[in-house]
Structure 1
Amino acid sequence: IAELIARPGDRVLATGGGAVLRERNRELLHNGATVLYLRSTPEDIFRRLRHDTTRPLLQVRDPLARLRELHQQRDPLYRRCAHYVLESARPSVHALVNMALMQLELAGLLDPGRVAATVGAEPL
Structure 2
Amino acid sequence: MEHNNHYKKEYKPLARSLRTNSTKAEVRLWCELLSKGKTGYSFLRQRSIGNYIADFMCKELKLVIEVDGYSHNFKTAEDQQRDKDLSDLGFTTIRFSDEEVMKDLPNMERVIQAYIDRFLENHCAR
TM-score when normalising by structure 1: 0.38
Q: Which one scores higher on RCO, CA 8 angstroms, separation ≥ 6?
A: 1
Larger Rg: 1
In proportion to residue count, which structure has more helix? Answer: 1
